[in-house]
Chain A
């Protein structure tokens, strides 16, 4: 909790616009640098394809529907797994906070699985579930579940006892206490957890898709990248990477930054 300083709307808008402009300038500088190095050192277009080609591959990918379709497939998978993982994490975190018996068990599980990269589990998961959507879901849920549990338990434990008592005093029952007090009070931790979960699952998904694609041609943005490499389509490969970067930036800036501004920053919990 910090003191928030006054930011007038117009100031904030100017600030935000400046940030975007500055960022765009850097993008232009990087693109220019890329082209200068590529041409200056006469690097093969197979290793560093011209920007124009990457651009046209990017838009061609969207136009033909291939890239877009793969992307949508990947994002739907992530959204479903994030929702399932977050729900499961919430249940386990509540259990851990309410019952010390489960707290030890869940702490133990988190200690074991939290540091384990999802991709390391892939061979086992393939053995159990094959190379289909089920395996992808398992890998993503694995990368979402543990950081979410860690953050949610910290958040739930950190809720002010005074506010819980105030809720009980107002006659709130168990579920009302949960939805009206515990959940909103631990929102900063939930958002932080979702951020880590998103970053991890996005990485895990792309890696898994590359492996699965290699085995069965299963699809997804990872598979798109992999197939471009197989066909030596460097421009397409770079276009895929650019798209992955764009998605990352968009989710962080548009989704998470916005949620943060509308909630915890507005409530004075964070700046």
Chain B
């Protein structure tokens, strides 16, 4: 079955000003995401992955190139594309977890306050944050903070979710737990995800497709991830696949 293209980026170019000359961070990047696809962008630290996600969510301007959602070109930021940041201070620390989520709920004004409260409670429960609803962000663990951030993003009703190394600052056990949690969420809610990481195993475990980005901000290779789901983090199939990916990464100069 051919799936519909939900999001596309065409020839995105971005320079950072460095004295007289510009240093390229994003070199002619084009990509397409199909509905309900889980795509990982894999690349070394500092290769421009975060910049790419900020450009795709229109939080930063590119020097040239276009982005389109459902075939319509878009220019400004909005809750149609929600970005989960790596930083753990993305929650508004002056609001309780519940208020953080409530704030993001459809600002269209079609829902009653009662409806919003119900939705907030449902999200808190789904994300295992019932006990954390009235707590403030500084009282949450790192894993809870990232879960709350994802819950808040989903409350905004996005068509697509961008994730910028969301688990990289967490301890290994929490990270593995959240990877499984995200996979489950993706399946249950039919999400479309673009997930940036420098962790090869993470990319292999999560994605349908892996796009490799090099240190010059170029997308250099696309690899289909055909491993059957559910995947075993310690299985031989996954290990073989990560070996292939590692090979690909080492082929590319500048990595």
Contacts and interface: CB of A to CB of B under 8 A. Distances in A.
Given A163-B92, A185-B94, A169 B137 contact: no
Contacts of A39: none
Interface string B100-123: 000110010000000000000000
Interface residues of A, number: 22
A267 interface: yes
Nearest to B83: A169
Contact of A170 (B89, B94, B103, B139): B103
A185 B91 CA distance: 11
A212 B94 CA distance: 44
B136 interface: yes
A166 B85 contact: yes
A184 B91 CA distance: 13
Contacts of A184: 92, 94
Contacts of B156: 169-171
A112 B224 CA distance: 64
Interface stretch (B64-72, B74-82, B125-133, B212-220): B74-82
B42 to A, nearest CB: 23
B136 A163 contact: no
A267 B136 CA distance: 6
A171 B89 contact: no
B89 A160 contact: yes
A7 B78 CA distance: 40
A41 to B, nearest CB: 55
B54 interface: yes
Contacts of A166: 85, 90, 92
Contacts of A263: 94
B57 A169 contact: yes
Contacts of B54: 165
B166 to A, nearest CB: 12
Main secondary structure of the interface of B (DSSP, over half): loop
Contacts of B94: 184-185, 187, 263, 267
**Which of A1, A160, A170, A181 has its CB near the most chain B CB atoms (within 10 A)?**
A170
Contacts of B90: 162-163, 166
A163 B89 contact: yes
Given A162-B85, A165-B59, A180-B103, A268 B93 contact: yes
Contacts of A165: 54, 59, 83, 85
B43 to A, nearest CB: 21
A74 to B, nearest CB: 33
Interface in B30-79: 54, 57, 59, 77-79
A160 to B, nearest CB: 5
B189 to A, nearest CB: 19
Given A168-B59, A169-B59, A266-B136, A162 B79 contact: no
Contacts of B82: 169
B228 to A, nearest CB: 34
B49 to A, nearest CB: 16
B138 interface: yes
Given A168-B77, A171-B77, A267 B138 contact: yes
A1 B59 CA distance: 26
B87 interface: yes
A4 interface: yes
A269 interface: yes
B92 A169 contact: no
Contact of B79 (A1, A3, A170, A268): A170
A183 to B, nearest CB: 10
A268 B137 contact: yes
B79 A171 contact: yes
B92 A181 contact: yes
Contact of A4 (B85, B89, B107, B138): B138
**Which of A160, A166, A267 has its CB near the most chain B CB atoms (within 10 A)?**
A166
Interface string B3-14: 000000000000
Nearest to A2: B138
Nearest to B139: A268
A263 B136 CA distance: 11
Contacts of A170: 79, 103-104, 107, 156
Q: Which 8 A-B pairs have the closest CB atoms?
A: A268-B138, A184-B94, A162-B87, A168-B77, A165-B59, A267-B94, A171-B78, A171-B79
Given A160-B87, A168-B59, A185-B92, 13 more contacts: A163-B90, A165-B54, A165-B83, A166-B90, A170-B156, A171-B78, A171-B79, A181-B92, A185-B94, A263-B94, A267-B94, A268-B138, A269-B138
